[in-house]
Amino acid sequence: MSTTATAATIAVAVPARNARAELWRSLAALTAQSLPPRQILVLDQASADGTADWLRLHWPGVELERVGRAPAATELLQAALGRVSCHVLAFLTPGEGWPEGHLARLAARWAEAHDTDLVLTPMDRAEGPLAGVSVRVEALARRGAADLLGDVRCGRGAAAAAAHTEEAPADGAAWLSLLRDALRALPPGKSVQLVGLQAASRPAGLLDLLGLAVIAAEEGRWPTATTLAELSWADVEGPPDVPVLVTTPAALDLARAAEQLCVEEIVRRASDRPVRLAARAFVPSTPRLTSRLIDALGEHPDAELWVNDAVSWRYGRSVLEPARVRLVPPPLLALLPALRTLDARALLAPELLGAGREPAGAERFADLDAWTEGCDLPTARRVALPLARVLGLDRALRGAVLHEAWVMALIGWAAFHDRATALATGEADVALFAAMAGARATLDARMPKTADLAETWTRALDAIGVRVGASGEASSTKKKTCDTRSPPSQVQMLSPQRDGACRMGAREDV
């Protein structure tokens, strides 16, 4: 058997017990791969929810292997071995969805791993002894399941410590795939309701709201948006098939206790509607405040917390069900393609909207009055919709709130685009938007959550033009510490941003 794997020679096994409600997400993600697996095998563990009949009716191409109830990991491996005819066998947890292109990257890793029997693929949601494991079938047959699982146990600690996400994309456009994956994981539907906790007062809140709307529209959904100033409970207590996405460009911490109280009430009133809370970070606060959020999200049948840095992700998974916490980039990054196209195609002259006052820095993000100071707001409103149509954003701009958010994005682009000097700031939102608008930006990462964000997305920040400073010495120390903990040679980990992941694995500040 050849030791070189291609995506066409990879089989995927999905161990499942009474998981019919979650299986569709996994199977849809597998069939949507750019290079799909040759075999998909569901290992049914004596399910009583009609999984077998459901698969025959809706997924006739998926194979079914019945195994005993609550089998050991060795039994699952042996059961899969008897049915698989491919070179590599990978395992996927029900409800988990791999990003598009995951199997192609896994195949490339296997093509390089000539002396490897296992490749561990760290996942942000998966659980179980075989989660994230892929094994060479020939080695499984030769060495046996128990022997290979010993390697998994040896490598698992290092894999978990190094993993903050399944992929840490190397460029600013690719990391948006994590946001798309998060939207694709929502139950099927045509619409989505967005609620911006700070969209009525802070430019960053409005830009986050617009970013989520853009991604939602790209995924075929019609977004509607409201701010807290205009929110009514009727907006939240709407149709059960319309998810509610709540976004804030701030950390969930003691300083934002009032916002968290609002989030808790939204989650409760949403009833059976899927709810997603997208926050910059999740920070330990008082026991009572943390417990309230845990209870609100945990009692809802379909609620998730989305955070923007790996330390928050790890902390969230320690206090919530791991499947309820997802790592995504800041939503305002979804505006990157549109803003870069404005410049590349010369669709708008910045001076047409007014250059704004200098310096266009953190103070412009303080409030909406500062954001529009020195800019021609009436002209921006006249040109906003035609430009949106040219850029293909018109589907995302349903309603006055999202249209105004696009106007604010254009004004910000004009203010930062022609900036003559480099911008240095400790605010991540300022550095991100400035770089997206074409300015030179340096992010001072001395604040803890700013440093966490910078370490999570180091290469992607560099790719869009954000230079990270002030924390380089500390990051270097963490990297050296982490690099001393390597897994056994026979276990490989699929983690393109290995250095950044290791630095985060060394953090213990939560």
Q: Identify which has the larger pLDDT, 84 or 307.
A: 307
Residue 476 has a pLDDT of: 34
Q: Is residue 238 part of a domain?
A: yes
Expressed in angstroms, the distance from the first to the final Cα of the chain is 47
Neighbouring residues of 110: CB distance < 8 A, sequence distance ≥ 6: 4, 5, 10, 87, 88, 116, 119, 134, 136
296 found inside a domain: yes
CA distance 202 to 198: 6
Q: How many domains does the chain have?
A: 3
* Same domain? 63 vs 158: yes
Looking at 131, 162, 193, the residue that finishes a domain is: 162
* Residue 92 CA from chain centroid, whole number: 18
Q: Which domain holds residue 358?
A: 336-469
Q: How far apart are CA 461 and CA 469, in angstroms?
A: 12
Boundary (domain end) residue, out of 279, 308, 332 = 332
* CATH code of the domain in which 121 resides: 3.90.550.10
Please count the helices (runs of H) and the strands (runs of E) in the chain.
Answer: 21, 16
Q: Pick the range with the lowest mean pLDDT from 149-153, 195-199, 205-209.
A: 149-153
pTM above 0.75, yes or no: no
171: Cα separation from own chain's centroid:
14
3-state secondary structure at position 33: coil
Let me know if residue 44 belongs to a domain.
yes
Q: Are strands 118-120 and 133-136 parallel, antiparallel or unpaired?
A: antiparallel
Question: Which residues, in sequence order, are CB contacts of 424 under 8 Å at separation 6+?
Answer: 441, 442, 444, 469
In this structure, are 28 and 158 located in the same domain? yes
- State the chain's mean pLDDT as an integer: 80
Task: Report whether 506 contacts 482 (CB < 8 A).
Answer: yes
| Domain identity same for 25 and 62 | yes
- Secondary structure percentages of the chain, helix, strand, coil, to 5: 50, 15, 35
> What pLDDT digit, counting tens, does each position of 221-267 carry?
999 999 999 998 888 888 888 999 999 999 998 888 999 999 999 99
Domain-located, residue 112: yes
Mean pLDDT value of segment 310-328: 88
CA–CA separation, 396 and 375 (whole Å): 24
Asked whether residue 353 carries a pLDDT value surpassing 60, the answer given is yes
Residue 492 lies in a domain: no
pLDDT at 373: 87
- DSSP SS3 for 434: helix
Are residues 309 and 413 located together in one domain of the fold? no
Helix (H) / strand (E) containing 465 = none
Mean pLDDT of 366-389: 91
Alpha carbons 230 and 5: distance in angstroms, whole number: 55
**Co-location of 300 and 346 in the same domain:** no
Specify if 356 maps to a domain: yes
Residues 325 and 362 in one domain: no
Whichever domain contains 294, its CATH number is 3.40.50
H/E run at residue 191: strand 191-196
Q: Are residues 241 and 267 in the same domain?
A: yes
Whether the CB-CB separation of 280 and 307 falls below 8 Å is answered with: yes
Crossing angle, helix 145-162 and helix 498-505, to 10 degrees?
80
Flag whether pLDDT at 168 surpasses 50. Answer: no
78 and 108 fall within a common domain: yes
What angle is formed at CA 386 by the lines to CA 381 and CA 389, rounded to 5 degrees? 130
Burial class (CB within 10 angstroms; exposed 0-12, middle 13-18, buried 19+) of 303: buried
Please tell me what DSSP assigns to residue 326: E
Residue 286 has pLDDT above 50, yes or no: yes
Q: What is the mean pLDDT of residues 87-98?
A: 83
Same domain, 128 and 234: no
User: Which residues, 6 or more positions from 368, have their beta carbon under 8 angstroms from its beta carbon?
Assistant: 201, 202, 203, 206, 408
Look at residue 64 and tell me whether its pLDDT is greater than 80. yes
Using a 10 angstrom Cβ sphere, with 0-12 exposed, 13-18 middle and 19 or more buried, the burial of residue 104 is: middle
85 and 147 together in one domain: yes
Average pLDDT in the 166-187 region?
70
pLDDT at 459: 80
The answer as to whether 506 is a domain residue is: no
What radius of gyration, in Å, describes the C-alpha atoms of the chain? 24
Decide which of 298, 332, 366 is a domain's last residue: 332
> What's the rounded Cα separation, in Å, for the pair 391 and 130?
44
Is the pLDDT at 70 greater than 70? The verdict is no
DSSP collapsed to 3 states, 218-265 = HCCCEEEEEECCCCCHHHHCCCCCCCEEEEEEEEECHHHHHHHHHHHH
User: Which pair of structure tokens corresponds to residue 336?
Assistant: 């990157």
The answer to whether position 2 is within a domain reads no
Owner of token pair 């604040």: 447
Same domain, 324 and 342: no
- Residues 149, 32, single domain; the answer is yes
Comparing 10-24, 287-301, 325-339, 462-476, the range with the smallest average pLDDT is 462-476
Q: What is the pLDDT of residue 113?
A: 64
